Copies of this chain bind each other. A is one copy, B any other.
Amino acid sequence: MKGRIQAEVLTIGDELLRGEIVDSNKSFLSDRLLSLDVETRFHASVRDEPDDMVDAFRRAAGRSDVVLVSGGLGPTRDDLTIEVLAKTFGLELVLDEESLAGIEAFFARFGRTMAANNAKQAWFPEGAEVLPNPIGTAPGCLLEAEGTLFFCMPGVPRELHRMMDEQVLPRVATRTEGGAVVRATLLRTFGMGESNLDDALRDVAKDGEVTLGFRTAFPDNYLRPVTRAASAEEAEARLARACETIRERLGVLIYGEGDETLEAVVGRLLRESGTTLAVAESCTGGLLGERITAVPGSSDYFLGGVVAYANAAKTALLGVPEERLAREGAVSEPVARAMAEGVRARFGADLGVATTGISGPGGGSEEKPVGLVWVAVAGPAGTDARDFEFPFDRPRHRQLTAQVALDWVRRVQLGEEPLAPRYLQRRPGPQGKAE
């Protein structure tokens, strides 16, 4: 099967065909396959109907080398994937004692007794290789039938993601050029458009040791370096080298790795340095506070904030001088500074952050267009303010403003300069076109 692999993703479940849930497993699996340079040629979904499943398995065996199957591994009568897969290729089901013990242990860990129907999840087609599921009861399996590899995985995204990355990808990799052991990570960046990132890292992606995937998750861009080698040591060494090069190239534009959100990174840095934070929000309307407090334990460093939507509130609660508001307008450098300083003083925080801007769709003028935003940070060393001019819409102006503010706090903690506005104004990139 060396050379070009034909891959297919098959998801199973009545809830998909009734349109009750949006099937994000397909895009996840195809994205991961692409990290090995394997293209997905077909996506298909069928109900929990044996006849339709048999047809789908037969068709997949006839046209694809690798078939990623998701769903139908649960303990209920509707969960038929394994049984029907065996039947399709005339195979018996055999009990895997190790899986049975594993499922029993899973229940024991939560102080429960395994229900009888869960035992079903320990039966697999003869000749299949069992794929462990450390965070759920349903193990997966790999069955080779008529020259096609069927990987069966759970439909629960969390379990699917882990099994795909830890069990499936390395096995698919052995069938492709470039080594059997796969290592990958996710680097999260904010402040540079996708095409500029692509330019900056063109040689990294082409050095043969690493495949570099890009993904936009507005307002961030994620990089996904993937390496393959004959051994784990070599794959890890290659990945470390690739990450080092990328980090050298992008520096502080990378804010985190893996699952860590920007607000979690900011929280970690504030906690480590014993710094407290308060926020004064106008255009973000509470979004900044909401994101900071989405992190469990954020009360250790976040004192609170003022949503100063009305001008009177900016004066009464933050001490912004009335005549400054009248003279300069609410969206102005002096008001942003006064808001940051005011909230810092009122809460007795080490850092005060302020946002004020025109989110739109209304409220813009020639001089102060929709998308104009001022962000200010007040700290022990003084106050700084920057203006940005975003080209999007109300929700994205607010998201971007909150991201800029959080990122600035991160940069302050790292002793770095805040993001230069031009980074966000140049070439909006694909997110500019999206809905």
Chain A residues numbered 273-321 whose CB sits less than 8 Å from any CB in chain B? 278-279, 281, 284-294, 296-299, 302-310, 312-313, 316-317
Contact call A309/B316, Cβ cutoff below 8 A: no
Measured in the bound complex, the distance between the Cα atoms of B305 and A288 in whole Å is 13
**0/1 per residue, A392-435, Cβ < 8 Å to B?**
00110010000000000000000000000000000000000001
**Chain A contact residue count (CB 8 A cutoff):** 75
A34 interface hit (Cβ, 8 Å): yes
Chain A residues numbered 215-235 whose CB sits less than 8 Å from any CB in chain B? 215
Contact call B309/A303, Cβ cutoff below 8 A: yes
Q: Could you say which residues of chain B place their CB within 8 Å of the CB of A16?
A: 26-27, 30, 43
Contact call A52/B41, Cβ cutoff below 8 A: yes
How far is the CB of A324 from the nearest CB of chain B, in Å?
A: 18
Q: A46-B42, A286-B289, A306-B306 are in contact. Are A27 and B21 (CB under 8 A)?
A: yes
**0/1 per residue, A18-37, Cβ < 8 Å to B?**
11111110111111111000
Measured in the bound complex, the distance between the Cα atoms of B294 and A40 in whole Å is 38
A157 interface hit (Cβ, 8 Å): yes
Measured in the bound complex, the distance between the Cα atoms of B23 and A225 in whole Å is 24
Please pick, from B39, B298, B310, the residue contacting A347 in the complex, using a CB distance under 8 A.
B310
Please pick, from B27, B297, B360, the residue contacting A362 in the complex, using a CB distance under 8 A.
B297
How far is the CB of A118 from the nearest CB of chain B, in Å?
A: 16
Q: A17-B43, A22-B24 are in contact. Are A435 and B157 (CB under 8 A)?
A: yes
A249 interface hit (Cβ, 8 Å): no
Please pick, from B42, B309, B317, the residue contacting A298 in the complex, using a CB distance under 8 A.
B309
Measured in the bound complex, the distance between the Cα atoms of B24 and A286 in whole Å is 29
Q: Could you say which residues of chain B place their CB within 8 Å of the CB of A29?
A: 19
Contact call A19/B42, Cβ cutoff below 8 A: no
Contact call B299/A309, Cβ cutoff below 8 A: yes
A158 interface hit (Cβ, 8 Å): yes
Contact call B32/A42, Cβ cutoff below 8 A: no
Measured in the bound complex, the distance between the Cα atoms of B50 and A104 in whole Å is 50
Q: Could you say which residues of chain B place their CB within 8 Å of the CB of A4?
A: none
Closest to A297 in B: B362
Please pick, from B17, B26, B299, the residue contacting A310 in the complex, using a CB distance under 8 A.
B299
Measured in the bound complex, the distance between the Cα atoms of B348 and A73 in whole Å is 58
A346 interface hit (Cβ, 8 Å): yes
Closest to A347 in B: B313
Measured in the bound complex, the distance between the Cα atoms of B29 and A29 in whole Å is 22
Contact call B309/A304, Cβ cutoff below 8 A: yes
Question: Beyond A17-B43, A281-B286, A305-B307: 7 further Cβ-contacts under 8 Å?
Answer: A18-B30, A23-B23, A42-B45, A43-B44, A44-B45, A281-B289, A313-B347
